[in-house]
Structure formats: C-alpha cells, structure tokens
Amino acid sequence: MGNDHRFNERTFAMSLHATVTILPPAQNSAPVTLPAPWGEEQPRLDRHIELWLSETARLLGATPLPTDESRRSDVLRLALALAEAERIIKAQQAEIEKLEALSLNDDLTGLFNWRGFNRQVSVGLAEAQRTGIGGVLIYVDIDDFKKINDTYGHAAGNAVLREIAGLLSHKVRQHDSVGRLGGDEFAALLTRTSAAQGFRRVRDIAQALEQVTIVHDGIAISVTASVGAVAFSPDDSPEALLERADRRMYDCKRGRTRLEVA
C-alpha cells in the first residue's frame, strides 16, 4: 500500500497494538506478545495510538480522552470503525474515478469519446480565457469509411480507426487532446498556440493523413480523410467552436479537397 493511504501497515500495527494493550483480555487467555519489529517501535506507536484515540474522542465530543479502561475500549472500537470506513470510502472513490474514466474514453481507440472531448474543449477554452492564448480545433472524417467496412469487413474498419487514432495521437503534444467523436469522425484540440503555428501543424497532420495505408489479412488498404480546422479565441464557446470546425470539415469533403482552415 502507498504511504498516502492512512489505513496502511503502520496503522494496522497501531490498531493491533492498541487492541491487545487496551481491550480487556479474554478470560483465561494467554499473554499476547507483539512481534519484535513492533515491539521496538512500541514507544512511538504508543504516542501515535494516543493521538489517534484522542482525535477520535474529540470527534465524538468525548474530550479529554477517557482514562477509564472500558470507555477507552469503546473509543478504540470506534476509531477502528472510522479507519475501516475511510478505507472503504477511498476504495469506492477509486472505483468511481475508474468508471468515470471509462465513460469519457472510447473503448476501441482509447481516445476521448464525444463526452470526454467536449469536456477537454471546455477546459481548453477556460485556459484560453485565463491566459489570453487561443488554439486550433481540428475535425477529421475518414473518406468512404462505409465502403471500407463493406469491402473488407468491420475488423478492417476497426483497424483503420485505430491507425488514424494512433497517427493523430502521435502528431499532438502532451497537453493537446484527441477524441473519436463517433463512427469515423475524430477531433484534435491544439491549445496554447497561435493560429499561424496551429495551422502549420494542421497541414502536417493533413499531409500525414494522405499517406495512410494499413495491411489487414494480407490486403493493403489505402485511407484518406477530410480535415477541417478553425482557430479559437478566449471568447469562443464550446458549442460554437465545435460547430464551426464541423462545417469546415464538410466544406472540405464537398469541395473534394483534403484541408479547409479558417
């Protein structure tokens, strides 16, 4: 267990030490001897236990810590119960965070899904408002993706999606974000960059997307994509920004060009 987990081995040792030294022994029970490592730590553990029980007593409104053995035993039992409750709550929080991450990510590619990417756009715009530095939003749509599925099968289509996801992830910086918005549509949020710098990177991405070929079951499949990109400022809203980038991408597809920027 990590050092930041309060119910760790040392706390367990303290709990056991407190139990055997404070709780009244059972009738006819044999003396309990702590293992050597704990015995050496006994003075420090005693201080920890006293502080631990005093804090529990304070939370219960029973201050100062009772000196009566039976009442101290009650405080100990409550302290152990509180420690266990804290452990359970932390485990539940970790599980909630895990489930939340699953709800924000695309299972196939590992990228953000629509919900997760929208959250990243909101975060990016909030950062732009704080710093005054905007960025660029890119929309990518794989050309004739249905034809790829119909011709080569859905497994090949999935391989294409993973390939495009990997390419986009490789082309962005660590603080940028990439998402699969659904089907064959992807987006990338380039933050902390000027429009000129951002569009240079967009052109690099568009050029890379013109050279994608995957081999599936021994068959080479060439893939192209339409790309639309818009610069954003601190005054943009997530909805308006996503809509503008989407329009640019469809302008690109209708014009049969590979890139549309604005």
Q: Which residues carry out catalysis?
A: 184
Two structure tokens written together for 175: 């603080």
Q: ω into residue 24 within 30 of 0, thus cis?
A: no
Report in angstroms the alpha-carbon separations of 122 from 169, 177, 189, 218, 236: 20, 12, 11, 42, 10
**200-232 as b/e: b if 16+ CB within 10 A:** ebbeebbeebeebebebeeeebebebbbbbbbb
How crowded is residue 256: how many other Cβ atoms within 10 Å of its Cβ?
8
112: β partners: 105, 179
Phi-psi domain of 140 (left: phi exceeds 0; alpha: psi -120 through 50; beta: other): beta
226: β partners: 141
Query: Looking at residue 174, what DSSP letter applies?
Result: T
Fill in the amino acid letter for 47: R
Give residue 175's Cα distance to chain centre: 14
